[in-house]
Amino acid sequence: MPDYKDRPPLSYYSTALPGVDYSELQGKLIVVEGPDAVGRSTQIRGLKPWLEEAGHAVLDTGMARSALAGKGIKEAKQGNTLGSITMTLYYLTDFADRLENEIIPALRAGVVVLTDRYIYSVMARAIARGENRAWIEKTAGFALVPHAVLYLRADVPDLISRVVVGRGAFDFWESGMDLRFGRNMFDSFVRYQSRLIRVFDSLAAPYNFQVIDATRPPVEVFESLKASVARIFDGDDNPAAGRRKSVRPAHPSGSFRAAATRRKP
């Protein structure tokens, strides 16, 4: 388990943004990642009020929501000509706009930023489509290193039931139909999503993901997420730190408590 108390201030992966003073960034950056239909937005809907109740100001943001490129991406996805390098760079344009105009100003103001997907989804989609891994890692390298990356992990059969029950239909892009991984949307979904999950798994260690088993009921997943998020605030000289007691018991068999118990002489 990484030691969040000794974390350095927010920094970037490989390329600094021009004009940003990283030492000013006081807030916390929390990423919820995972494949399509895994339940990210449901969990974020729960995490936001929970954090606010603990006294944190929260900004929630997510992919393709930028003022600059959000609309353009949605329109581009309506067509049938979006190539995978173009798609990758369009999503990174969207990300850059949100990073510089929303996320960084919020962090400067000490806000907790909760983001639905991050560069890892853009990277996973590009890699699953056969693009060069070193290229995309370097291109996305201007991203901030988050305080936590909560990776909701599920296998394809779980995703299928969520798509069918929750949405009632398969999505063209979520099925990787731009590259036709299978003869029909279902086959393509299965192959593409399997690939995506393999790529996400391969990103977990280098990018320090906390893997959260998302095949469990949403309530249990939520408890795990809360425990992970609570650890970020441990040791902070912050009013919210005093709330740890109310947070910790929420995760009865959590690794945090086990570790804390073991540390006693």
Partner 1 sequence: MQFFLPNRGPGRLIVVEGIDGSGKSTQIALLSQWLRLRGYAVAFSEWNSSPLVHETTRRGKRKEMFTPTSFSLIHATDFADRMERYIIPLLKAGAVVCADRYAYTAFARDMVRGVDRAWVRNIYRFALKPDLAFYFKVPLEVALGRILGGRNALKYYEAGMDLGLSRNIEESFRIFQGRILAEYESMIEEMGFHVIDATKSIEAQQKEMRRVVLREFGVTRPPGVLGVELNAARLHA
Chain residues in the site for partner 1 (CB under 8 A): 14-19, 67-69, 71-72, 75-76, 79, 81-86, 88-90, 92-93, 96-97, 100-101, 132, 135, 138-139, 141-142
Least distance in Å: CB of 128 to partner 1?
17
For residue 115, give both structure tokens.
């983001």
- Candidates 166, 171, 167, 165; CA nearest to 189 is 171
242: left (phi over 0), alpha (psi -120 to 50) or beta: alpha
Residue among 101 and 161 whose Cβ is closer to partner 1: 101
Residue among 69 and 214 whose Cβ is closer to partner 1: 69
Q: Of all helices (H) and strands (E), which one includes residue 61?
A: strand 58-62
Which residue type, as a one-letter code, is found at position 52? E
CA angle 161, 164, 165 (to 5 degrees): 80
Least distance in Å: CB of 127 to partner 1?
14
Least distance in Å: CB of 129 to partner 1?
12
Residue among 98 and 251 whose Cβ is closer to partner 1: 98
Least distance in Å: CB of 135 to partner 1?
6
Residue among 18 and 206 whose Cβ is closer to partner 1: 18
Residue among 129 and 248 whose Cβ is closer to partner 1: 129
- Which single residue is written with the structure tokens 């995760």? 251
Least distance in Å: CB of 145 to partner 1?
16
Residue among 117 and 153 whose Cβ is closer to partner 1: 117
CB atoms within 10 A of CB 38: 25
DSSP one-letter string for 87-119: HHHHHHHHHHHHIIIIIHHHHHTTPEEEEES-H
| Three-class secondary structure of residue 165 per DSSP | helix
Least distance in Å: CB of 24 to partner 1?
16
